Structure formats: structure tokens, C-alpha cells
């Protein structure tokens, strides 16, 4: 990954972003979660989204990853050619391309793929089409390194993570995202279910990613964790437009 020529240019920019949810079970009432939200994120900085539960923090990450469609506004993400693309206007194919090369996302919950072994779930991003050519064996070796670093016992590697504990699933999710570094990293409470040793490992992983020039937008429930990784905090208030 070469980040030199994108230094100081934002990796992610959200301009006047708004999101309303239509609540179909409630006679299509609209719930406004974001209104005129603005954010700019540079390579090498870790910005914390903070604020009370329900303020729309996870929604911001899901919008940036293209899981949710914005109601209005722009979400500009820098692609690997260095151009800013608007996620709100992007085709499904472009969204997949950005996810593969530009955006990694650690969601709060692992989306378990039935019957696929933990080690293969972690290795999979390295084997996606369009990734550097690497053999399945090499991808598994790399996955094994991340599983080891995150203290997943080897006895679990060949098992599907459906029955894993919350903390184990969270570490599979982290391994799967960190195995393929991308210049924008979205983290939704990445240490929420982890014990102190694994929390420290994840802090180290985040700081290393940041120092390599990765732009990180994160939600951290734990102030002590945030203090160790964050450069700047954006406090989300109802319809805050001056961020
Ligand atoms: N898919 C959805 N459909 C309807 N409402 C949603 C959806 N996702 C989130 N919300 C609502 O948006 C608000 C913000 O949610 P969220 O972004 O998860 O908050 P936070 O992460 O700050 O706790 C909440 O009131 C939540 O119920
Ligand atoms: Mg949340």
C-alpha cells in the first residue's frame, strides 16, 4: 500500500450528510438520525465518534461502508487511484471495489457464514478476486498469524465461529479486517467484548495501523482505550452540524 501521495488529503469526507429511516411498522413514520453531518478524516489520524447511545454513531460507519444509503449529502471516499468517489452515488460494483481496496470495517457483530471454518473466514479477504495473487496456503498462514496474535486457540481454527463466544467472534472479525490493510478503517466498538490482554493487543493493532498512515474512524465505548488510540473526538449531538 502506498500512502505517500495521499498524505494530508482526506481519505473520507462527509458533507451535509443526512439519514432518515422509514419505519414501515409504524405507518412509514420517518426517524431522522443524522442531519447535515460533516466530517473529514485524514490518513494517519484516528477520529472517535462519541456521544450517547442512539445518536447515530453506528449509522455513520454503515453509511461510510455503503451498508445504508444516505438520504442526502455526500460521502467521499478516496479510491486506490487517488480519486474521491461519492459512496452515496456509487453502483453496487463500485461499493464492492471500494470495500475490497479502500475500506475495512469491523462491525459490532460477526456475520457468520455457515459451515466455513474460522481460519478460512479470516483468510478470505486475501483471496477475493482482484487481490494480489496469493495461494490459499499462504492466505491460511497469514490468517494463522492473526489468530495467534489475537489468542484464538488453535483447537478452534477449523470450526465455524457460529458457536464461538462473543469475544471470540469479535476477534475473528478483527483478524478478518486487519489481515488486509486498507487505507480507511471503520471500527465499531472493537474491544467491547474483550478481556484486558486482547484489548491491549487490539490497541496495539490500531496504533500500528494509524502510524502506517491508515485513516481510522472508530466508536470506542471505553475512554481508557480511546485515550490510547485517538487523535480527535467528534461528539455527536442531535443534528449537530458544526463538527
Ligand atoms: N436499520 C434501521 N432502521 C430503523 N432505525 C434504525 C436503523 N438503524 C439504526 N436505527 C436507529 O437510528 C438511531 C441511531 O442508531 P445507531 O446508529 O445504532 O446509534 P449509536 O451507534 O450511536 O448507538 C437509533 O434510534 C436506531 O434505532
Ligand atoms: Mg452503535
Integer Cα distance of 197 and 171 in angstroms: 12
Query: What does the alpha-carbon distance between residue 201 and residue 225 come to, in Å, rounded to a whole number?
Result: 11
Is the minimum distance from the CB of 66 to ligand 1 under 6 angstroms?
no
The predicted model gives 210-216 an average pLDDT of: 98
Q: Would you call 226 helix, strand, or coil by DSSP? A: helix
Q: Is the pLDDT of residue 240 over 60?
A: no
Q: Give the residues across from 233 on adjacent strands.
A: 48
Q: Is residue 62 within 8 Å of 56, Cβ to Cβ?
A: no
CA–CA gap between residue 193 and residue 11 (Å, rounded): 29
**Per-residue confidence (pLDDT) for residue 132, from 0 to 100:** 64
pLDDT at residue 238 in the model: 72
Question: Is the minimum distance from the CB of 87 to ligand 1 under 6 angstroms?
Answer: no
Domain boundaries, the chain: 1-102+182-243, 110-181
Question: CA 114, 111, 23, 98 torsion: positive or negative?
Answer: negative
The closest alpha carbon to 150, from 132, 165, 134, belongs to 165
Ligand 1 pocket, 54 CB below 6 A? yes
Q: Which pTM value belongs to this model?
A: 0.93
Instruction: Please name the residue that has the C-alpha cell 484489548.
Output: 199
Residue nearest to atom 8 of ligand 1 (CA): 59
Q: Tell me the average pLDDT of the chain.
A: 92
CATH code for the domain defined by 1-102+182-243 = 3.40.50.300
Ligand 1 in reach of 109 Cβ (< 6 A): no
Q: In the beta sheet, which residues pair with residue 40?
A: 13
Which residues does 156 contact at the CB level (< 8 Å), separation at least 6? 118, 164, 168
Answer whether 33 contacts ligand 1 (Cβ < 6 A): yes
Residue 157 to residue 155: CA distance in whole angstroms: 6
Atom of ligand 1 nearest to the CA of 49: 22
Question: Does residue 187's CB lie within 6 angstroms of at least one atom of ligand 1?
Answer: no
For residue 25, CA distances in Å to 11, 22, 28, 45, 181 come to: 37, 9, 7, 40, 40
* Closest ligand 1 atom number to CA of residue 236: 22
Mutational test site, ligand 1, from 14, 31, 32, max ligand atoms within 8 Å of CB: 31
Q: How high is the pLDDT of residue 128?
A: 84
Which residues have beta carbons under 5 A from ligand 2 (an ion)?
Answer: 57-58
pLDDT digits (tens, 9 = 90+) for 91-148: 999 999 999 999 999 998 887 778 999 999 999 999 987 666 889 999 999 999 999 9
Write out pLDDT tens, residues 172-196: 999 999 999 999 999 999 999 999 9
Cβ(31) to ligand 1 under 6 A?
Answer: yes
| Distant-in-sequence, close-in-space partners of 169: CB < 8 Å, separation ≥ 6 | 109, 110, 112, 161, 193
For the chain, how big is the Rg over CA atoms in Å? 18
Q: Is 199 in the pocket of ligand 1 (CB under 6 A)?
A: no
The Cα 170–Cα 145 span in angstroms is 16
Structure letter (DSSP) for residue 46: E
Instruction: Give the number of the atom of ligand 1 that is nearest the alpha carbon of residue 219.
Output: 21
Cβ neighbours, 10 Å, residue 138: 13
> Own/partner pairs for 88-93, CB < 8 Å, 24+ apart?
90/66
Amino acid at each position: 500500500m502506498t500512502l505517500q501521495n495521499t498524505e494530508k488529503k482526506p481519505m473520507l469526507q462527509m458533507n451535509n450528510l443526512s439519514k432518515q429511516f422509514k419505519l414501515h411498522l409504524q405507518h412509514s413514520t420517518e426517524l431522522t438520525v443524522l442531519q447535515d453531518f460533516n466530517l473529514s478524516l485524514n490518513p494517519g489520524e484516528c477520529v472517535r465518534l462519541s456521544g450517547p447511545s442512539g445518536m447515530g454513531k453506528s449509522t455513520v460507519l454503515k453509511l461510510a461502508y455503503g451498508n445504508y444509503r444516505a438520504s442526502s449529502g455526500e460521502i467521499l471516499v478516496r479510491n486506490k487511484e487517488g480519486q474521491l468517489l461519492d459512496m452515496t452515488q456509487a453502483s453496487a460494483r463500485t461499493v464492492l471495489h471500494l470495500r475490497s481496496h479502500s475500506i475495512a470495517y469491523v462491525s459490532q457483530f460477526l456475520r457468520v457464514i455457515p459451515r466455513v471454518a474460522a481460519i478460512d473466514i479470516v483468510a478470505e479477504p486475501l483471496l477475493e478476486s482482484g487481490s494480489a495473487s496469493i495461494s490459499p496456503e499462504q492466505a491460511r498462514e497469514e490468517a494463522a498469524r492473526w489468530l495467534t496474535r489475537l489468542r484464538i486457540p488453535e483447537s478452534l481454527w477449523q470450526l465455524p465461529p457460529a458457536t464461538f463466544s462473543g469475544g471470540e467472534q469479535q476477534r475473528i472479525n478483527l483478524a478478518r479486517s486487519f489481515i488486509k490493510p486498507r487505507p480507511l478503517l471503520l471500527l465499531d466498538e472493537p474491544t467491547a467484548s474483550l478481556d484486558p490482554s486482547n484489548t491491549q493487543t487490539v490497541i496495539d493493532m490500531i496504533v500500528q495501523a494509524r502510524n502506517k498512515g491508515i485513516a481510522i474512524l472508530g466508536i470506542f465505548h471505553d475512554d481508557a482505550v480511546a485515550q490510547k488510540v485517538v487523535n480527535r473526538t467528534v461528539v455527536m449531538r442531535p443534528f449537530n452540524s458544526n463538527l
